[in-house]
């Protein structure tokens, strides 16, 4: 690593360090020193397991220091509630099944009374160094490298709380296919703009020329891929003719959308029929 190495390039990596800073002045004051230490490449053998993170940090002596972090794992009932809550919003399920972490996932978990990120009183850290301060610079360095590790694999966050990627995604697919999930919407998606705050006249006074905006659409190679990631549809429908019919409809819709996007102002023939 170098002095230019950055930690927390994703929102979840940044949220990890922000959660640590919120734990109190001791953490907030000592984290910068750990960041400098981490940039020297002193942290290695970092491993994430349910409820724990372990690593070794090279200090001033020949033998590396041993660092461990502990966070409570969620019990099975809590994970079932989380899975149902995530599966209840198709955009969350789709984002996770696509290998990404929804930006408002912690808001969903808050409804279940938990958070992926450390809360006051949850985090326990230990280091084999003689420094009496906690966190010491070695622990702080591990925190930053851990944020970088989360950047590369966001599913290590739920894994730290007791649910690895495969189990989480399998649970989402089962919940979506089981028919017991009702589609819900985040509060900010409904009534986010008050009707009284809208003015039809303002629609014609926006600055700038919309025609000057360059749009570069790319045609999807497999428009039904997301459908397959979500698994079998909920309810009585299963695999078979219904699934193929859905794929055909999606392919037709994607084809029409592409022709509309590239029609240069001319309405496609299929739309005029």
Q: Specify the DSSP class assigned to residue 246.
A: H
Give the integer Cα–Cα distance in Å for 206 and 209: 9
Give the integer Cα–Cα distance in Å for 82 and 172: 10
The predicted structure's pLDDT at residue 79: 93
The predicted structure's pLDDT at residue 206: 53
Whether pTM > 0.85 for this model: the answer is no
Cβ–Cβ < 8 Å for 270, 260: no
The predicted structure's pLDDT at residue 2: 47
CA dist 103 → 8, 28, 221, 245, 252 (Å): 14, 24, 26, 33, 31
The predicted structure's pLDDT at residue 238: 47
What does the pLDDT profile of the chain (273 residues) look like in tens digits? Answer: 544 556 667 888 888 888 887 877 777 777 777 888 888 888 999 999 999 999 999 988 888 999 999 999 999 999 999 999 988 888 888 888 888 888 888 888 999 999 999 988 899 999 999 988 888 889 989 988 998 899 889 899 999 999 999 999 888 888 877 644 444 443 444 344 455 555 555 555 555 555 555 666 667 666 666 665 555 555 554 444 555 566 667 777 877 877 777 766 555 554 444
Give the integer Cα–Cα distance in Å for 176 and 181: 6
Kindly list the domain boundaries of the chain, sorted by start residue: 11-177, 213-273
Sheet with 43-49: list strands edge to edge.
43-49, 52-57, 65-70, 124-127
Nearest to 53 by CA among 123, 128, 130: 123
The predicted structure's pLDDT at residue 157: 94
């Amino acid at each position: 690593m170098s002095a230019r190495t950055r930690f927390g390039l994703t929102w979840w990596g940044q949220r990890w360090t922000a959660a640590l800073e919120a734990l109190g002045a001791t953490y907030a004051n000592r984290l910068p020193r750990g960041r400098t230490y981490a940039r020297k490449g002193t942290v290695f053998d970092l491993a994430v397991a349910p409820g724990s993170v372990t690593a070794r940090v090279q200090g001033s002596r020949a033998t590396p220091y041993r660092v461990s972090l502990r966070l409570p794992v969620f019990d099975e009932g809590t994970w079932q509630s989380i899975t149902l809550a995530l599966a209840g919003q198709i955009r969350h399920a789709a984002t996770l099944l696509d290998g990404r972490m929804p930006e408002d996932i912690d808001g969903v978990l808050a409804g279940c009374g938990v958070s992926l990120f450390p809360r006051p009183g949850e985090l326990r850290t230990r280091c084999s160094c003689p420094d009496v301060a906690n966190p010491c610079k070695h622990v702080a360095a591990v925190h930053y490298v851990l944020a970088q590790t989360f950047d590369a694999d966001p599913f290590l966050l739920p894994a730290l709380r007791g649910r690895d990627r495969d189990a989480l995604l399998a649970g989402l697919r089962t919940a979506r296919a089981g028919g017991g999930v009702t589609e819900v919407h985040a509060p900010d998606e409904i009534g986010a703009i008050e009707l009284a705050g809208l003015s039809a006249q303002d629609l014609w006074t926006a600055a700038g020329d919309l025609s000057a905006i360059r749009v570069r659409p790319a045609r999807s190679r497999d428009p039904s891929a997301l459908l397959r990631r979500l698994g079998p549809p909920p309810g009585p429908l299963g695999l078979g003719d219904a699934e193929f019919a859905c794929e055909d409809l999606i392919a037709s819709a994607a084809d029409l959308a592409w022709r509309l996007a590239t029609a240069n102002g001319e309405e496609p023939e299929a739309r005029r029929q």
